[in-house]
Amino acid sequence: MAASPAFGTMGARVIRAGLAAKEFSAREIAESSLARIDVANKDLHAFLETTEQLALEQAAKVDAAVAAGELDACGPLAGVPVAFKDNMNLEGTHTTCSSKMLENYVSPFTATCVARTIEAGGIPLGKLNMDEFAFGSSTETSAFGPTKNPWDLSRVPGGSSGGSAAAVAAGLATVTLGSDTGGSIRQPGSFCGTVAVKPTYGVVSRYGVVAFGSSLDQVGPFTRSVEDAALAMNAIAGRDVLDCTSQNVDTDFTANLAEGVRGMRIGVVPAFMEAQGLTPEVKAKVEEAAEHLRALGAELVEVDLPNAQAAMSAYYVLGPCEAFSNLARFDSVRYGYCDPGHKDLGSQYEASRAAGFGPETRRRVMLGSYLLSAGVYDKYYYPAQQVRTLITQDYARAYEQVDCILAPVSPRTSFRFGEVSDPTDMYLSDMFTISINIAGNGGMSLPVGLGADTHLPVGVQLISPAFKDENMLRAAAALETVYGPAPIAPAYADGKAGE
């Protein structure tokens, strides 16, 4: 291992410079990154599948461009080791959603966000573990076993995009993509100490990403620097004709990173800071970050989100309802697990869906079915959509006063496997992230060092107005000048692979 540098620990700019200077080739990046994953993944279990052939093919293209002196034409992620959450279709690879239901499913097409990452020059290394169908906050619901937190293998990496966060925190990839329905990018970003961005709903195409909550899901990058996150955003953002809800975005997300926060108005939400369950170490980190922002020239403004407290219940109505519908298609007919030996379709359906779906998936599907049923719809689903209006209005009012909002990501740092077993307790992991999905605007987690009590990574959340994702990136870049880029988890630093 010592011979080759750990490319996954490098930033996109360093990789680009190295390629341009012919210090290394894209082929070396691919081969060395895959070898490192082979070792590190044994304990970490971040990757469900590696894609050697695709990686080498893509590396050959990048090397050809370098040889032809056309590196500039290669896109913002040229030669960058990338990997994808396993709910993203990539033609010819398994896309399992960490479910037994899709264990043998091979994608016949590619998700737009994946295609754009590869078109931007990224070298696809593989597919990443997650909570089953993204239902969870720890990757413990993965049918193929959980991913470990690279900072402490006895702890969860968060979820549902736990594999995506762990891979970046361990330096196995420079950029990974995750998806976030209620906090599934930001919370694992916080638990593993990476930059983790959930863009505004509609900024990144959802085409080819297996749906959980269609009105809530959004794809975004995990990186160790704000600049890499902005580069990844440049690659994946923008209108896709295959997704009706995607929108035109012509922002260069790197453009204002160096501007600093002088003159920016940044909101803090007192009710969040007093929330029950927020641990003192996380609270202290958020307050510290606020002080840094003030010191850097930002104006701190208290804002009120009076209806945010209802976001949790609205989310646990809307998410399951949409999930129930989105998961109806897994029926053992066209693809997916088919329980053998049934003489009638009804028993094949019931046995396949019982065996193919894990307990949390069944819970969400059945909850959604109940909430949409006649008579119940008007009691929960419709009011939840009205609450969505109120929360959206809250944010709109807040953004009349501020350019972005600072908040906690998760109330606590990473917990131990099995520590949180009650479903409703687990749902509290997302108490500070969910209202952003309900309203649809952008939010991100920025690592701000280790908690004073647990000595585990803590992230703070920066929240942008809709389609102003560059605001939170700008504030994050300013804070990054204080905290530095996200560190590699110690066991994986300096080229180590957790051996």
Partner 1 sequence: MTQHVTEHDVRDIAEYTRIGLTDEEVARMTGDLNAIIDSLSPITEYDLEGVEPTFHPIGGLSNVMREDAEEPSFTQGVALENAPKQQDGCFLIPSILGEGGDR
Partner 2 sequence: MRKLEEVLKDWEAVIGLEIHAELTTLDTKMFCGCKLEFGAEPNTHTCPVCLGMPGALPVPNRAAIESIVLAGLATNCDIEKHSMFYRKTYMYPDMSKNYQTTQGPVAFCMRGHLDLDVDGAAAKERIDLDGLDVGESRGNATRTETGYTAHVGITRIHMEEDAGKMVHIGGGEGRIAGATHSLVDYNRAGTPLTELVTDPDLRTPEEARLFMQKLRQIYLALGISDCSMEEGSMRCDGNVSLRRRGAKEFGVKTELKNMNSFKNLHDGLAYEICRQAEVLEEGGQIFQETRHWDPSAKRTIVMRVKETADDYRLFPDPDLAPYDLTDEWIESVRAKLPELPDQKAARFEDAFGLTPYDARHLVEHRATADFFEACMELAGADAAKLAKPVANLVINDVTAYLNAHEGAQLADTPLTPARAVALVRLTAADAISSKQAKEVFAAILDEDKDPDAIVRERGMEQVSDTGAIEAVVDAVLAANPDKVEQYRGGKTGLIGFFVGQCMKEMRGQGNPKVINELLASKLSS
Q: Which residues are catalytic?
A: 85, 160, 184
10 binds partner 2 (CB under 8 A): no
Report how far residue 451's alpha carbon sits from residue 283's, in angstroms, rounded to the nearest whole number. 10
Q: Is 42 exposed, middle or buried (0-12, 13-18, 19+ CB in 10 A)?
A: exposed
Report how far residue 104's alpha carbon sits from residue 309's, in angstroms, rounded to the nearest whole number. 41
Name which of 16 and 116 has its Cβ closer to partner 2.
Answer: 116
20 binds partner 1 (CB under 8 A): no
The stretch near partner 2 (CB under 8 A) out of 44-52, 186-194, 374-382, 425-433 is 374-382
> Which candidate, 27, 117, 25, 121, places its Cα nearest to that of 72?
121
336 binds partner 1 (CB under 8 A): yes
Radius of gyration, alpha carbons of the chain: 21
* Tokens 């002196």 sit on residue: 69
Q: Which of 380, 432, 483, 492 binds partner 1 (CB under 8 A)?
A: 380
Name which of 80 and 102 has its Cβ closer to partner 1.
Answer: 102
End-to-end CA distance of the chain: 11
Q: Which of 13, 14, 49, 215 binds partner 2 (CB under 8 A)?
A: 215
- With CB cut-offs between 5 and 8 Å by kind, which of partner 2, partner 1, none does residue 354 bind? partner 1
**Quick check: bond before 160 cis, omega within 30?**
yes
317 binds partner 2 (CB under 8 A): no
Question: How far apart are CB 179 and partner 1 at their closest, in Å?
Answer: 15
Q: Which of residues 194-213 bind partner 2 (CB under 8 A)?
A: 206-211, 213
Q: Which of 133, 316, 415, 432 binds partner 1 (CB under 8 A)?
A: 316
Q: Are 173 and 33 in contact (CB under 8 A)?
A: yes
- With CB cut-offs between 5 and 8 Å by kind, which of partner 2, partner 1, none does residue 89 bind? partner 2
253 binds partner 2 (CB under 8 A): no
**Total site size for partner 1, rule CB under 8 A:** 72
Question: How far apart are CB 468 and partner 1 at their closest, in Å?
Answer: 12
Report how far residue 467's alpha carbon sits from residue 462's, in angstroms, rounded to the nearest whole number. 14
> Which candidate, 80, 84, 4, places its Cα nearest to that of 36?
4
* Tokens 């043998």 sit on residue: 104
Question: How far apart are CB 33 and partner 2 at their closest, in Å?
Answer: 26
CB atoms within 10 A of CB 377: 13
Q: Which of residues 88-107 bind partner 2 (CB under 8 A)?
A: 88-89, 95, 97, 102, 105
Q: Provide the 8-state DSSP code for 149.
A: B
Name which of 274 and 378 has its Cβ closer to partner 1.
Answer: 378
Q: Are 182 and 437 in contact (CB under 8 A)?
A: yes
400 binds partner 1 (CB under 8 A): no
Structure tokens at 369: 């079915």
Name which of 154 and 389 has its Cβ closer to partner 1.
Answer: 389
Name which of 43 and 331 has its Cβ closer to partner 2.
Answer: 331
81 binds partner 1 (CB under 8 A): no
Structure tokens at 433: 């992230």
Name which of 283 and 342 has its Cβ closer to partner 1.
Answer: 342
Report how far residue 159's alpha carbon sits from residue 206's, in angstroms, rounded to the nearest whole number. 19
Q: Which of residues 330-359 bind partner 2 (CB under 8 A)?
A: 330-331, 333-335, 343, 345, 349
- CB-side neighbour CA atoms (13 Å) of 243: 27
73 binds partner 1 (CB under 8 A): no
Q: Which of 259, 331, 417, 485 binds partner 1 (CB under 8 A)?
A: 331
- With CB cut-offs between 5 and 8 Å by kind, which of partner 1, partner 2, none does residue 316 bind? partner 1
**What pairs with residue 328 in β-bridges?**
none
Report how far residue 361's alpha carbon sits from residue 354's, in angstroms, rounded to the nearest whole number. 10
> Which candidate, 210, 47, 208, places its Cα nearest to that of 132?
210
Structure tokens at 420: 């949180």
Q: Which of residues 94-133 bind partner 1 (CB under 8 A)?
A: 104-106, 108
53 binds partner 2 (CB under 8 A): no
- DSSP characters for 452-468? TTT--EEEEEEE--TT-
Q: Which of 362, 401, 482, 485 binds partner 1 (CB under 8 A)?
A: 362
Contact characters 231-250, partner 2, x per CB under 8 A: ----------xxxxx-----
421 binds partner 2 (CB under 8 A): no
Q: Are 100 and 112 in contact (CB under 8 A)?
A: no
> Which candidate, 360, 449, 366, places its Cα nearest to that of 413?
449
Contact characters 411-440, partner 1, x per CB under 8 A: -----------xxx--x----------xxx
Strands 81-85 and 123-128: what pairing?
parallel
* Binding positions for partner 2, rule: CB under 8 A: 87-89, 95, 97, 102, 105, 108-109, 111, 206-211, 213-215, 241-245, 321-322, 324-325, 328-331, 333-335, 343, 345, 349, 369, 372-374, 377, 381
